[in-house]
Amino acid sequence: MWPGPAVDEKRGFGQTAVPIQEHSFHASKEIMMEQRKQLQAIVTGRVQGVSFRYYTRQQAEQLGLVGFVRNQRDGSVFVEAEGSETDLEKLLRFLHQGSPQARVTEVKTSWQPASEKYKRFQVRWF
């Protein structure tokens, strides 16, 4: 609404306001959503019965990620996580290592834009 009447406590209405350059320090929702990604990973090896899901959830929560981890019937573990690419890459490094008793042999990954459907990270069952 520039230029427009400005209120000057000493002079009252009627003074012409000079527009001030405005800068937005907040990213738009579209930009923020573009920065968030989804990582899907299938982890194989000795990854069930070794607290792999517990450690994965703990790592994801520390990184501020949302999504889930679950055992698969074939003995693998499936992870779907959303967050910044940097934090997802940290989780991916953890998935290659696994919990202390785990022996990871392979991690297959898929990347896509975040779905924004998760509010927290949880352990799911089959």
Is residue 78 within 8 A of residue 70, CB to CB? The reply is: yes
| Cα 16 from Cα 26, distance rounded (Å) | 29
Q: How far apart are the first and last CA of the chain?
A: 57
Q: What are phi and psi of 23, to 5 degrees?
A: -125, 130
Q: Could you tell me whether strands 103-113 and 12-16 are parallel, antiparallel, or unpaired per DSSP bridges?
A: unpaired
Is residue 79 within 8 A of residue 55, CB to CB? The reply is: no
Which residues are designated catalytic? Answer: 53, 71
